[in-house]
C-alpha cells in the first residue's frame, strides 16, 4: 500500500479531516497507522498522524510524506478509534484528541529556519550572503529581527532560500556511558603482556575485563578499578575497549527499596465486593462498579486484589488517582504489591521521566500504571481493568481542550476491551450514586472501617458565637484547648484552611478600597513571602503600596486568612508547637510535597497546616485531631455543586483523624453551622446528604436530573462579547426543546480575565439529540473570528467549574 491518510497538526475547521500522501519507496515497509510523520502542507512542513494505509486515493496529485517521526506506532488501533470518539465527545479537532493521548515529551515543537537551497548560495545578494557563511541555515528569529527581512523574503520567492520547519523532538533519551571489551580473554592477556611495566593502570583495566565480560558503566568501572578516564581512552584508542552510550530509564523511584507485601485475607464485605468484579474480569465482560466505602474501609485492598486477578490473566490495569493524592504513600502500596510491574505517571515527574514511564507501558514492560488523569490514555493493548479512585474529584475533568472527563474515557475504553471499571469513593458524585441506585452502575458497599473504630467525633463551632463572646482569634476556644491538649500528649494535628474562593486580599481600612488586578475583575492575592500582590488568573504582580492609592491612608493592609497568617498566629498562641506548612508556596519545588509529608510522618512537627492539598491521602497513626478553620468559604461560590464540594471536602479531611489505634476528633469552625452540608458532614451521613441535595437538584433542574452545557464568550470589547452571547442564546433558544432551559446571557462570575470580557449562557436539558450539531454549527459560524483569536468561544459539556 503506497498511500497514507494523515491527520495534520493544523487545528482548524478546514483541516479537520484526513489528507492523503504518497509513501516514498524507501519507507514503504516502515510507515504504519498510529505513527507520526512529517508532511508538506501548503508551503510548510507539519507533523501528522497516519490513520490508515490504502492503495488508492480519490485525489490524483498526491504529495510525498517527507519522513517518519516514529519507527513504531505510538497509538494503537484502539486509541486511534478512541480519538474519533473523543473528537465528538469533547467537540474538539481530531488532531487535539490525538495529541492529548501522548506524553508531553512527544508533543513536538517546531523550530523555523531559513535554509539556502543547495548550490545557490552564490546567487544570493551580497548583503545577505555573509549570514550563511558558516551555516547553511539561519533561525527565523534572526531573519525577522534583522533589518533585511524583505530581502530574505525576495530570495524565498526566488527559490534561492527555503523556509524549513524543523520538528524538534525533545525526547532527549537519557543515556549512560558504558564500556565493553572488544577482545577475547586470550587477546586481552596477549595485550597485557605486551604493555610496558609502567602502564600499570592499563594492566589493571585489562585484568578487570579478563575477569568480567559484561558491559559496565564507565563511572562504576572507574570506581572499582581506580583507573582514570584517560586510561580508559587510551585502551579505547588501542582497540581493546569500546565506549557506548546505553539508553537508560530515568526511574523516579530508583533509589527506593520496596518491601514486597502480601495480599490481606479479605473481610466478608471486601470479599463480597471483590467477587462480582472478578467475575466480570474472568468473563471478559464490561460493567461499571461503584465501590462506595468510607475512608479506611479497605477499598485500596480491593483494588489491589482485583488488579492481581487481571495480571494473573495476562492483562493490564490502569489505576487513576487524583493528582493530589498521588503521594509516595499511595505509590508505595502499589510498588510493594506489584514491584517492577508498575509504572507511575503524575505531574511531579519531569517531562523526561514521564516519557520513560510511558515507554515502559508502550514496550509492555509493565502491567499496571498508577497515575493522574491523563494516565487513562496509557497505551496498553490488553486492558483488563480500569479503576478510578476518589471518583468525585473534579480534577478528573480536563479544563482545557480537549475537555474530557477521565471517567467517560475509562468507560469508553473498557467497553472496547470488554473489561470492568471500578469507581471508588466515600462521597460519590451525585451523578454516579444516582446511576448506582438505578443499577446502571453496580453498587458495592464497604460500610465499616478496617480498624472497627468509630468514625471520629465531630464538633461544629459557630464562629459568630465566638465573636459574640469576645474571641477575635481565628481559633475557637474549643479548637485551641484541643490543640494544647495534643501538644501535651505528643500527638499530631492536621489544620486545614479551606482556601478556595477565599484568600488574602489587600484592603484599605480607611476607605474600604480593595486592590484589584488591572486586567481582571478579581482582587490581587497578597504574598507575604516576597511582599508582593499577585493575580492568580493572569499572573500580574506588583509590590505592596505604602499608602492607599485612593485616599493615601497608611492603613492599608492584607486581610483574609492565608496559611502564612495562620502560621504566625500559631507562633503567638502556641509558641512551643512545631508547625509544617503546606500550600502552593511551600510545595512548588519538585519533591518538596513529599519531603514535608515525610517530615510530618516522622514526627518532626506537631501540626500540619495546609490548604485542600492536605485533605487527601494522609495516613499517619499519630494524627488524633483535625481542625477545619473555615468550613464555609466554598459554600458561597456561584456553583451549583458548592454544597456537594463542601460536603466532600469536610468528610475527606475528617477521615484523616483516628485511622489507626488512637481515636480521632474533628473540630469544624464555620459561620454557617446550620447548613446541611456542614451538619451532615459532621455526622458523616452521605446518604442523608445525597437525598437532601438530590431534592434541590431536581427542583432547580440541575444534574443529575438535567445535563448542563456552559458556553463562555470572551472578547476585548465588552459589547462584542455581549452581542455574540446574545446571538448564541437566541440561536439555541429557537432550536432546542421547550423543556430545555437557557440561562443568559449574563456576565460570567469572573467577568474579566486578562482584559477580556467574559459573558456566558448556561443550557440545561434532559434530551437534545441535535445539540452537538447545533453547537458545531455555532463554532463554525464564528470560526473566522475565533481563529484570529479576537473572539473566544468555549463550550464546556458537563462543566465542573462554573466560573
Ligand atoms: P481505603 O482505601 O478505603 O481508604 P485502605 O485500603 O487504605 O482503605 O485500608 C485501610 C487500612 O486497612 C490500610 O492500612 C490497609 O492496609 C488495611 N487493610 C485493608 N484491608 C485489610 C484486610 N483485609 N485485613 C487487614 N488489614 C486491611
Ligand atoms: Zn483608602
Ligand atoms: Zn489578572
Residues within 5 A (CB) of ion ligand 2: 508, 510-511, 513, 548, 550-551, 553
Ligand 1 atom with the shortest distance to the CA of 449: 10
Question: Atom 4, ligand 1: which residue's CA is nearest?
Answer: 296
Nearest ligand to the C-alpha atom of residue 618? 1
- Here the cell at position 550 is 485612593
The pLDDT assigned to 490 comes to 93
Asked whether the beta carbons of 710 and 760 are under 8 A apart, the reply is: yes
- State how beta strands 109-116 and 137-139 pair: antiparallel
Question: Atom 9, ligand 1: which residue's CA is nearest?
Answer: 298
Asked whether the beta carbons of 113 and 166 are under 8 A apart, the reply is: yes
Asked whether the beta carbons of 38 and 91 are under 8 A apart, the reply is: no
Q: Kindly give the distance from the C-alpha atom of residue 517 to the centroid of ligand 2, in angstroms, as a whole number.
A: 16
The pLDDT assigned to 163 comes to 66
The pLDDT assigned to 112 comes to 63
617 lines ligand 1 (CB under 6 A): no
First to last CA, the chain: 51
Contacts of 305 (CB under 8 A, 6+ apart): 263, 266, 274
Q: Kindly give the distance from the C-alpha atom of residue 557 to the centroid of ligand 2, in angstroms, as a whole number.
A: 10
- Provide the CB-side half-sphere exposure for 49 (13 A, CA): 31
- The most distant pair of C-alpha atoms in the chain lies apart, rounded to whole Å, by 99
Q: Which residues of the chain have pLDDT under 70?
A: 105, 107-112, 141, 144-147, 163-175, 247-257, 452-453, 499-504, 529, 559-561, 584-585, 588-590, 616-617, 636-637, 658-660
Q: Kindly give the distance from the C-alpha atom of residue 450 to the centroid of ligand 1, in angstroms, as a whole number.
A: 6
- Here the cell at position 47 is 507533523
Asked whether the beta carbons of 161 and 138 are under 8 A apart, the reply is: no
Classify each residue of 699-714 as buried b or exposed e, where b means 16 or more C-beta atoms within 10 Å of its C-beta.
Answer: eebbbbebbbbbbbbb
> Quick one: angle between helices 686-699 and 430-437, nearest 10?
100
450 lines ligand 1 (CB under 6 A): yes
Mutate to test the pocket of ligand 1, among 259, 297, 298, 617 (most ligand atoms within 8 A of CB): 298
610 lines ligand 1 (CB under 6 A): no
3-state secondary structure of 576: coil
Q: Kindly give the distance from the C-alpha atom of residue 524 to the centroid of ligand 3, in angstroms, as a whole number.
A: 8
428 bridge partner residues? none
Mutate to test the pocket of ligand 1, among 300, 332, 334, 453 (most ligand atoms within 8 A of CB): 300
Q: How far apart are CA 247 and CA 363, in angstroms?
A: 14
Using CB atoms within 10 Å of the CB of residue 463, give its burial: 0 to 12 exposed, 13 to 18 middle, 19+ buried. Answer: buried
Nearest ligand to the C-alpha atom of residue 549? 2
Ligand 1 atom with the shortest distance to the CA of 294: 3
pTM of the predicted protein model: 0.79
655 lines ligand 1 (CB under 6 A): no
Report which of 187, 206, 168 is spatially closest to residue 45, judged by C-alpha positions: 168
Three-state SS for 335-363 is HHHHHHHEEEECCCCCHHHHHHHHHHHHC
Q: Kindly give the distance from the C-alpha atom of residue 291 to the centroid of ligand 1, in angstroms, as a whole number.
A: 14
Alpha-helical segments (H) within 133-261: 140-145, 149-157, 185-194, 200-211, 218-225, 229-237
Q: Kindly give the distance from the C-alpha atom of residue 298 to the centroid of ligand 1, in angstroms, as a whole number.
A: 4
Q: How far apart are CA 377 and CA 106, in angstroms?
A: 14
297 lines ligand 1 (CB under 6 A): yes
Cα angle at 59 between 53 and 64, to 5 degrees? 60
Nearest ligand to the C-alpha atom of residue 267? 1
Q: How far apart are CA 778 and CA 130, in angstroms?
A: 52
Q: What one-character-per-residue DSSP string does 377-388 give?
A: G---SSEEEEEE
For residue 120, CA distances in Å to 54, 159, 374, 684 come to 38, 9, 48, 78
Place of cell 552510550: 245
296 lines ligand 1 (CB under 6 A): yes
Question: What's the gap between Cα 512 and its chain centre?
Answer: 39
Q: Kindly give the distance from the C-alpha atom of residue 103 to the centroid of ligand 1, in angstroms, as a whole number.
A: 32
For residue 48, CA distances in Å to 83, 136, 344, 679 come to 14, 27, 28, 55
The pLDDT assigned to 129 comes to 84
389 lines ligand 1 (CB under 6 A): no
Report which of 623, 633, 618 is spatially closest to residue 664, judged by C-alpha positions: 623
Q: Kindly give the distance from the C-alpha atom of residue 294 to the centroid of ligand 3, in angstroms, as a whole number.
A: 40
Q: How far apart are CA 670 and CA 654, in angstroms?
A: 15
- State how beta strands 492-496 and 623-628 pair: parallel
Question: Atom 19, ligand 1: which residue's CA is nearest?
Answer: 298
Nearest ligand to the C-alpha atom of residue 270? 1
Ligand 1 atom with the shortest distance to the CA of 304: 6
Cα angle at 375 between 371 and 378, to 5 degrees? 130
Ligand 1 atom with the shortest distance to the CA of 389: 2
Three-state SS for 526-570 is EEHHHCEEECCCCCCEEECCCCCCCCCCCCEEEECCCHHHHHHHH
Peptide bond into 402 cis (omega under 30): yes
Q: Kindly give the distance from the C-alpha atom of residue 342 to the centroid of ligand 1, in angstroms, as a whole number.
A: 20
Q: What one-character-per-residue DSSP string does 726-769 give?
A: HHHHHHHHTTS-TT-EEEEEEEEEEEEETTEEEEEEEEEES--T
Report which of 361, 305, 356, 300 is spatially closest to residue 333, judged by C-alpha positions: 300
Question: Atom 25, ligand 1: which residue's CA is nearest?
Answer: 264
Nearest ligand to the C-alpha atom of residue 516? 3
Mutate to test the pocket of ligand 1, among 261, 301, 306 (most ligand atoms within 8 A of CB): 301
Report which of 115, 118, 110 is spatially closest to residue 38, judged by C-alpha positions: 110
273 lines ligand 1 (CB under 6 A): no
Torsions phi, psi for 690 (to 5 deg): -55, -50
The pLDDT assigned to 561 comes to 60
The pLDDT assigned to 706 comes to 95
Torsions phi, psi for 338 (to 5 deg): -115, 0
Report which of 510, 504, 505 is spatially closest to residue 555, judged by C-alpha positions: 510
Q: Kindly give the distance from the C-alpha atom of residue 267 to the centroid of ligand 1, in angstroms, as a whole number.
A: 10
Q: Kindly give the distance from the C-alpha atom of residue 265 to the centroid of ligand 1, in angstroms, as a whole number.
A: 11
State the sign of the Cα–Cα–Cα–Cα dihedral 42, 48, 49, 50: positive
The pLDDT assigned to 254 comes to 54
- Here the cell at position 502 is 477565599
Asked whether the beta carbons of 113 and 139 are under 8 A apart, the reply is: yes
299 lines ligand 1 (CB under 6 A): yes
Q: Kindly give the distance from the C-alpha atom of residue 500 to the centroid of ligand 3, in angstroms, as a whole number.
A: 17
3-state secondary structure of 105: helix
Q: Kindly give the distance from the C-alpha atom of residue 544 to the centroid of ligand 1, in angstroms, as a whole number.
A: 49
267 lines ligand 1 (CB under 6 A): yes
Q: Kindly give the distance from the C-alpha atom of residue 538 to the centroid of ligand 3, in angstroms, as a whole number.
A: 4
User: In degrees to the nearest 10, what's the CA dihedral of 69, 72, 78, 81?
Assistant: 30
Residue 710 zone, left/alpha/beta (φ > 0; ψ -120 to 50; rest): beta
Amino acid at each position: 500500500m503506497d498511500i497514507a491518510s494523515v491527520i495534520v497538526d493544523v487545528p482548524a475547521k478546514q483541516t479537520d479531516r484526513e489528507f492523503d500522501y504518497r509513501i516514498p519507496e524507501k519507507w514503504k515497509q516502515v510507515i504504519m497507522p498510529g505513527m507520526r510523520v512529517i508532511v508538506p502542507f501548503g508551503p510548510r512542513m507539519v507533523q501528522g498522524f497516519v490513520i490508515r494505509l490504502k492503495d488508492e486515493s480519490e485525489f490524483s496529485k498526491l504529495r510525498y510524506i517527507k519522513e517518519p517521526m516514529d519507527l513504531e506506532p505510538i497509538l494503537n488501533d484502539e486509541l486511534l478509534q478512541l480519538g474519533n470518539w473523543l473528537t465528538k465527545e469533547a467537540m474538539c479537532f481530531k488532531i487535539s484528541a490525538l495529541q492529548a493521548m501522548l506524553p508531553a515529551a512527544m508533543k513536538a515543537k517546531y523550530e523555523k529556519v531559513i535554509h539556502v537551497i543547495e548550490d545557490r548560495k552564490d546567487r544570493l545578494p551580497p548583503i545577505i550572503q555573509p549570514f550563511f557563511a558558516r551555516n547553511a541555515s539561519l533561525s527565523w528569529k534572526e531573519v525577522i529581527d534583522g533589518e533585511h527581512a524583505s530581502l530574505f523574503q525576495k530570495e524565498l520567492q526566488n527559490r534561492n532560500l527555503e523556509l524549513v520547519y524543523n520538528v524538534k523532538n525533545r525526547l532527549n533519551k537519557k543515556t549512560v556511558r558504558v564500556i565493553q571489551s572488544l577482545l577475547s580473554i586470550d587477546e586481552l592477556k596477549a595485550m597485557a603482556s605486551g604493555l610496558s611495566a609502567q602502564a600499570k593502570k592499563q594492566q589493571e583495566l585489562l585484568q578487570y575485563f579478563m575477569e568480567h565480560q559484561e558491559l559496565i558503566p564507565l563511572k562504576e568501572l572507574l570506581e572499582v578499578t581506580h583507573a582514570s578516564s584517560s586510561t580508559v581512552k587510551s585502551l579505547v584508542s588501542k582497540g581493546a575497549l569500546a565506549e557506548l552510550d546505553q539508553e537508560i530509564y530515568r526511574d523516579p523511584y530508583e533509589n527506593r527499596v520496596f518491601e514486597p507485601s502480601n495480599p490481606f485475607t479479605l473481610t466478608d464485605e471486601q470479599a463480597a465486593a471483590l467477587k462480582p468484579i472478578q467475575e466480570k474480569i474472568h468473563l471478559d465482560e464490561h460493567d461499571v462498579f461503584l465501590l462506595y466505602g468510607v475512608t479506611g474501609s479497605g477499598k485500596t485492598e480491593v483494588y489491589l486484589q482485583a488488579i492481581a486477578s487481571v495480571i494473573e490473566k495476562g492483562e493490564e490495569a490502569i489505576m487513576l488517582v487524583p493528582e493530589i493524592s498521588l503521594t509516595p504513600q499511595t505509590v508505595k502500596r502499589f510498588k510493594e504489591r506489584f514491584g517492577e510491574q508498575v509504572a507511575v505517571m503524575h505531574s511531579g515527574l519531569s517531562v523526561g521521566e514521564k516519557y520513560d514511564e510511558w515507554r515502559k507501558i508502550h514496550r509492555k514492560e509493565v502491567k499496571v500504571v498508577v497515575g493522574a488523569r491523563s494516565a487513562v490514555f496509557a497505551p496498553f493493548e490488553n486492558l483488563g481493568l480500569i479503576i478510578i479512585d476518589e471518583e468525585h474529584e473534579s480534577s478528573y475533568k480536563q479544563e482545557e481542550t480537549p475537555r474530557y472527563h477521565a471517567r467517560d474515557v475509562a468507560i469508553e475504553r473498557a467497553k472496547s476491551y470488554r473489561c470492568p471499571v471500578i469507581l471508588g469513593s466515600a462521597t460519590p458524585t451525585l451523578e454516579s450514586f444516582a446511576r448506582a441506585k438505578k443499577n446502571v452502575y453496580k453498587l458495592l458497599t464497604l460500610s465499616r472501617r478496617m480498624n472497627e473504630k468509630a468514625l471520629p467525633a465531630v464538633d461544629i463551632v459557630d464562629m459568630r458565637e465566638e465573636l459574640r463572646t469576645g474571641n477575635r482569634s481565628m481559633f475557637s476556644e474549643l479548637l485551641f484547648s484541643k490543640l494544647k491538649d495534643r501538644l501535651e500528649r505528643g500527638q499530631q494535628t492536621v489544620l486545614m484552611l479551606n482556601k478556595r474562593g477565599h484568600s488574602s486580599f489587600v484592603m484599605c481600612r480607611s476607605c474600604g478600597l480593595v486592590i484589584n488586578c488591572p486586567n481582571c475583575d478579581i482582587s490581587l492575592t497578597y504574598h507575604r513571602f516576597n511582599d508582593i500582590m499577585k493575580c492568580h488568573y493572569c499572573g500580574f504582580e506588583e509590590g505592596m503600596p505604602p499608602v492607599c492609592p485612593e485616599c493615601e491612608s497608611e492603613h492599608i493592609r492584607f486581610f483574609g486568612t492565608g496559611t502564612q497568617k495562620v502560621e504566625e498566629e500559631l507562633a503567638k498562641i502556641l509558641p512551643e508547637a512545631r508547625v509544617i506548612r503546606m500550600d502552593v508556596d511551600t510545595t512548588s519545588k519538585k519533591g518538596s510535597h513529599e519531603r514535608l509529608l515525610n517530615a510530618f510522618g516522622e514526627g518532626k512537627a506537631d501540626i500540619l497546616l495546609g490548604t485542600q492539598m492536605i485533605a487527601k491521602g494522609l495516613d499517619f497513626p499519630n494524627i488524633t485531631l483535625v481542625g477545619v478553620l473555615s468550613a464555609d468559604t466554598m459554600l458561597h461560590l456561584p456553583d451549583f455543586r458548592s454544597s456537594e464540594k463542601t460536603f466532600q471536602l469536610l468528610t475527606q479531611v475528617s477521615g484523616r483523624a483516628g485511622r489507626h489505634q488512637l481515636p480521632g476528633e474533628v473540630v469544624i469552625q464555620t459561620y454557617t453551622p446550620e447548613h446541611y452540608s456542614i451538619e451532615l458532614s459532621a455526622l458523616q451521613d452521605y446518604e442523608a446528604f445525597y437525598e437532601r441535595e438530590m431534592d434541590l437538584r431536581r427542583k432547580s433542574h440541575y444534574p443529575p436530573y438535567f445535563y448542563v452545557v456552559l458556553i463562555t464568550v470572551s472578547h476585548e470589547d465588552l459589547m462584542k462579547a455581549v452581542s455574540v452571547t446574545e446571538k448564541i442564546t437566541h440561536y439555541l433558544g429557537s432550536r432546542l426543546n421547550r423543556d430545555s432551559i437557557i440561562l443568559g446571557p449574563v456576565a460570567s462570575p469572573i467577568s474579566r480575565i486578562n482584559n477580556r470580557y467574559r459573558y456566558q449562557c448556561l443550557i440545561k436539558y434532559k434530551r437534545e439529540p441535535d445539540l452537538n450539531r447545533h453547537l458545531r454549527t455555532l463554532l463554525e459560524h464564528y470560526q473566522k473570528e475565533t481563529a484570529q483569536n479576537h473572539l473566544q468561544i468555549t463550550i464546556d459539556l458537563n462543566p465542573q467549574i462554573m466560573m
